[in-house]
Amino acid sequence: MAQPNPRCNTCRVRACSVLRNCPGDILETLSDNKKYLHFQRGERLLIEGQRGEGIYFIRSGIAKIEVNGKNGRPLVLRLAGAGSILGHRIHDSTNEQPLSAEAVEDLYVCRISTAFYDQLIEKSPALHSGIMGSLLNEMHQVELHAVRLTHLPVKERVAAALLHIAKLYRYEPGSNGIRVHLERQDLADLAGTTKEQVSRMLTGLQRAGFIKFSGKHFKFFDLNHLQHITALH
């Protein structure tokens, strides 16, 4: 559903996005040629294998990034939050999306066409540099994720997933915690394990005092101990 367009120059998440170093004229052009959209939980922005129809900049909310796995089960590669860009990794030859992206809570995004995106990239070295930096960071995160899935026991993988969630939801020590709009199955997919094992590990971590939660409300994360568990921080 389309919403009134927020302006890129005054966007509250610009500083943590690929647009942070873009000059004012590029931001104004972008503001005039985008649509501001709302996706509800469960709606997909991108579908793996389908043609790319646009580039999305997340303004608020969380999306899960997936690829198809065995027996139709998705493999969750990562979660994307405010400031992330989606849809820019289409294959040049087929114009197909290599990934799927689904809203895990109310998601507000700014969308531009792929044709307009290509024009902006040519006009703005700062935007091109930001995109390349984003791609390199994504590659690094996927590599770390692959190492965790291959070499770490379940407890360490769950701890790594919790750290990822705490960072994405901007958890602050001493705060009232965060309400995570993820199902246990989502967390299991992210950690590469089963829902039952996730529940068991969460209970164990809570008994050890490393986390405190009730349902989807995570009231406390001991970030230092979780980082120590993963040994990959």
Tell whether 10 and 43 lie within a shared domain: yes
Does position 233 have pLDDT exceeding 50, yes or no?
A: no
Tell whether 17 and 105 lie within a shared domain: yes
Domain annotation covers residue 144:
no
Tell whether 164 and 126 lie within a shared domain: no
The rounded distance, in Å, linking the Cα atoms of 58 and 110 is 7
Does position 1 have pLDDT exceeding 70, yes or no?
A: no
Tell whether 104 and 199 lie within a shared domain: no
Assign residue 133 the CATH number of its domain: 2.60.120.10
Domain annotation covers residue 198:
yes
**Residue among 233, 221, 209 at smallest CA distance from 156:** 233
Average pLDDT over residues 55-64: 93
When pLDDT is cut at 50, 70 and 90, the band that residue 12 belongs to is confident
The rounded distance, in Å, linking the Cα atoms of 3 and 36 is 5
The rounded distance, in Å, linking the Cα atoms of 156 and 174 is 24
Is residue 189 within 8 A of residue 76, CB to CB? The reply is yes
Tell whether 28 and 132 lie within a shared domain: yes
CA 3 from centre of chain: 22
Assign residue 186 the CATH number of its domain: 1.10.10.10
Dihedral sign for Cα 49, 50, 51, 57, please: negative
Average pLDDT over residues 130-143: 80
CA 17 from centre of chain: 12
Tell whether 116 and 162 lie within a shared domain: no
Tell me what pLDDT residue 51 has: 80
**pLDDT of 72-85, one tens digit each?**
677 788 899 998 99
Does position 130 have pLDDT exceeding 50, yes or no?
A: yes
Average pLDDT over residues 166-172: 91
Domain annotation covers residue 145:
no
| Domain span at 206 | 152-230
Tell me what pLDDT residue 136 has: 83
Does position 36 have pLDDT exceeding 70, yes or no?
A: yes
Tell whether 19 and 129 lie within a shared domain: yes
Quick one: tokens of 73? Answer: 């089960």
CA 204 vs CA 121, 141, 162, 174, 212: distances in Å: 48, 26, 14, 22, 11
Domain annotation covers residue 143:
no
Quick one: tokens of 31? Answer: 């503001």
Q: What is the domain count for the chain?
A: 2
Domain boundary among 137, 166, 200: 137
Tell me what pLDDT residue 93 has: 60
Tell whether 112 and 176 lie within a shared domain: no
When pLDDT is cut at 50, 70 and 90, the band that residue 128 belongs to is confident
Tell whether 104 and 7 lie within a shared domain: yes
Tell whether 203 and 129 lie within a shared domain: no
Q: Give me the chain's average pLDDT, please.
A: 86
Quick one: tokens of 1? Answer: 């559903």
Domain boundary among 137, 163, 196: 137
Is residue 110 within 8 A of residue 36, CB to CB? The reply is yes
- Tokens 């993963």 belong to residue: 230
Domain annotation covers residue 146:
no
Q: Are strands 85-86 and 55-60 parallel, antiparallel or unpaired?
A: antiparallel
Does position 149 have pLDDT exceeding 80, yes or no?
A: no
Q: Kindly report the length of the chain.
A: 233
Is residue 30 within 8 A of residue 19, CB to CB? The reply is yes
Domain annotation covers residue 171:
yes
Tell whether 42 and 113 lie within a shared domain: yes
Q: Are strands 35-39 and 44-46 parallel, antiparallel or unpaired?
A: unpaired
Tell whether 66 and 32 lie within a shared domain: yes
How many CA atoms are closer than 13 Å to the CA of 189, on its beta-carbon side? Answer: 20
Does position 158 have pLDDT exceeding 70, yes or no?
A: yes
Tell me what pLDDT residue 52 has: 72
Average pLDDT over residues 81-105: 83
**pLDDT of 203-219, one tens digit each?**
999 999 999 999 889 99
